Structure 1
Amino acid sequence: MHVPKRRLLVLPSYFAVDHRARADTPVGDSWLAAVRGPDGLTVVRGVSPDAAGETDCWVGLYGDDPHSLDLPGMLAAVVGPLGSAGVPVFVASTYTSDLVLVPRERYADAEAALRAAGHEVVASGNHFIGGRASAAGQRGLAGQGQRPAERFDGEHQHIRGLG
């Protein structure tokens, strides 16, 4: 099977993954994704870098290569190398792409594994991992003049505003 090479944007904010056993709906407006299961509600929400010590922070990688639901292997192409590298993930999918969260403290391992698998990892110039700019963040979106949050405008408004 052909393994697709993906272009992944590092979103310019951190995320938290919360489990709420008795909640019916997410609280507030900082949430990005919510899934209700038999064991309660799981919510992915944006958090500020200042809140980093208060909660487990995750870095978001979003596929910048929209695809149809019937195209096999798109998510597996990303989570496979991360699993092989021992990097935990949390995934939320949209209709056209995937949001893959990796623990902030494992971002360097995740980036290395994804690049080794042939994926392109693109971050904004102001994205900080563990209090320092990531290597990808220092490169920025060369020639595009946009931060990832600016790219998620219009059609992708569900992500806008978390940056």
Structure 2
Amino acid sequence: MLSASEFTVGSIGHATPLSLVLPRHEHEETILIAQCQSGPAAFFLSERERFKWFESPGNNHWHGLIIPNVRIEVDETSVFDPSRIEARAGTAIRRGTQLVAQAKGLRAFSGLDAIILEDALEETSGESAGFSRWQIVIGAAEHKRVLHNVIVS
């Protein structure tokens, strides 16, 4: 359950990074607002455009329930070494000072891009770790709620 102060309703063009956008009907999508080099980026989590992304500032096409200030948690039991195993779309990777997600561009024949989920983390000394399972949460301790699970198969 969400309290009324934990969300707004609107377009993704007004959502800030680390906001989760939940659909209100079957024509809307579950979207995580992340960050790309030029600003906010929409990262699709629902099936139709799963793990695709695009730059989202000013976008008034996609709407939904906007939950800002979510957090990302990785499932440590799904860890792998991305230098030995290829990271697939949807995978979360901790490298340098960032936690990124591998995402496909919306354009045809787009390769994988790393969109930023979290930045300014403690440096990882040149090593990296990938995670095939992660989740989006709000709150902490006994008030923590899981809003969305990501499983890369």
Q: Name whichever structure is richer in strand by fraction.
A: 2
Q: Higher helix proportion, which one?
A: 1
TM range (shorter): under 0.3
TM-score of the superposed pair, with normalisation by structure 2: 0.27
